[in-house]
Structure 1
Amino acid sequence: MSITHPVLKHPIEGSPGPGAGIAYFGMGCFWGAERLFWRVPGVWTTSVGYMGGKTENPSYEEVCTGLTGHAEVVRVVYEPEKAAYEDLLKVFWENHDPTQGMRQGNDIGTQYRSVVFTTTPEQQVAAEEGKAAFAPAVTAAGLGAITTAIVPAGAYWLAEDYHQQYLHRNPNGYCNHGPNGLTCPVGVAKAQVEVERPSAG
């Protein structure tokens, strides 16, 4: 039986319909990351799980060994007419450090890497444009180069029940996510290209 999201009141493995968008983000421990996304207006449901590795249906303990190659990710199901993919990207870029490689703060390991798993060519383009637009702000802050990978999504393995919406059930639980003090001008690169493109005729 599918779990009902305690905040959004929808099945965590469900969808509002065929026009729904699905996005996946890895930005360190998935507990705090999931809470960031379920607070975005237009997000229909969220869940946490594992993606980007080689083992089928891995357990949390297996992922933590680093041997499976999976990242901890948040699956976000959203209604495009209410939430743009760029809105989700802005949450992603502005609430973790995308320069730390295989870690996020004191959380060290491949499962904590910064990664965007895309589900459409449009998401791939938008994520790459957002990364390019954010890079100058990151460099100016002295944080170094962005290490975030942007790759097509593969198999998603739902994490164990006790991980789902963890910070709703444990409000004082561990969370290392929050504003990084930088602003990502999501969509700026695309807008600039459109402005510079010669008009027809």
Structure 2
Amino acid sequence: MLFAKSAELPTVETALPGRAEPLATDMVHFVSGNPLKGPYPEGFETAVFGMGCFWGVERIFWRTPGVWVTSAGYSGGLTPNPTYEETCTGRTGHTEVVKVVFDPKVVSYGDLLKVFWENHDPTQGMRQGNDVGTTYRSAIYTLNDRQQREAEASRDAYQAALTQAGRGTITTEILPAGPYYYAEAYHQGYLAKNPAGYCGIGGTGVVCPIGIGVSA
């Protein structure tokens, strides 16, 4: 996944047309065996995060206590049901994301935000490390007003910590979630299926002062 992609988002006029039918993908998680598309246990919640290459991001979250199932997908764009090859052109508008289904009695949304901020560099714009292009932009797609408020508060708290450490300005996109499209089967649980596979995810080393028992 070490190749350049477009650094400019498409418009409605320039976006690829996509397709009406969803892509074929795994039905259960390769590690947990839980269903990717549900049904999910009653009372569980969902979060959507983009932190760069979704292979490594998904592994970070499936290893987080309280997370019930994860999946790799595409969100934040214009093209319906895009393929990986289409997202690679930069003409779908999507970023690679991970959908996280979690038990809020075990891990809070604030806890997951802490995991999000501390495990990538949210100041890099349309890239993450060596992975360059719009599909690697940092993003939080919120499912309700509470998530939106918590995400924005956590951004402000982490920005203060980054500024104190001499780091740059957060470029993370925080928006209400649009459609989420499951990525192809080979992307699901990729680093469990391919333990020696590529993972370009890495944090800044700056601790985020929210989550894990600390209010945003």
So what's the TM-score if we normalise by structure 2? 0.84
**Aligned mates of 1:26, 1:83 — CA distance in 2:** 19
Q: How does 1:20-169 map to 2 (within 5 A)?
A: 20-169=44-193
Deviates more, 1:131-140 or 1:54-63: 131-140
Tell me by how many angstroms 1:18 deviates: 3.6
Contact 2:121 2:203 (8 Å CA) reproduced: no
Q: CA deviation at 1:149?
A: 1.1
SS in structure 1 at match of 2:157 = helix
Corresponding residue SS for 1:40: coil
Q: Give, in whole Å, the separation in 2 of the partners of 1:171 and 1:20.
A: 29
Instruction: Check conservation: 1:95, 1:179, Cα contact below 8 A.
Output: yes
**SS of the counterpart of 1:8?**
coil
Aligned to 2:19: none
Structure 1 runs (4+) deviating above 4 angstroms are: none
Deviation at 1:187, TM superposition (A): 5.1
The SS at the match of 1:167 is helix
CA-CA distance at 1:12 after TM superposition = 1.4
Q: What is the percentage of aligned positions where both structures have the same residue?
A: 58
RMSD: 1.7
Q: Is the 8 A contact 2:161 2:209 kept in 1?
A: no
Extract unaligned runs of 5+ from structure 1.
Answer: 193-201
Deviation at 1:19, TM superposition (A): 1.6
User: Structure 1 stretch 15-24 or stretch 32-41: which is displaced more?
Assistant: 15-24
- Summarize the Cα distance change of 1:191–1:60 in structure 2 as closer, same or farther, 3 Å threshold: closer
Aligned length: 191
Give the distance between the partners of 1:23 and 1:50, measured in 2 at CA.
13
Normalising by structure 1, what TM-score?
0.90
AA partner of residue 78 (structure 2): K
- 1:14–1:45 Cα contact (<8 Å) kept: no
Counterpart of 2:73, as a letter, is G
Name the residue aligned to 2:200: 176
**C-alpha distance in 2, partners of 1:187/1:41?**
14
Query: Aligned with 1:62: secondary structure?
Result: helix
Distance in 2 (alpha carbons) for counterparts of 1:50 and 1:77: 16
Bigger helix share: 1
- Residues 84 and 15 (structure 1), Cα distance of their counterparts in 2 relative to 1, 3 Å cut: farther
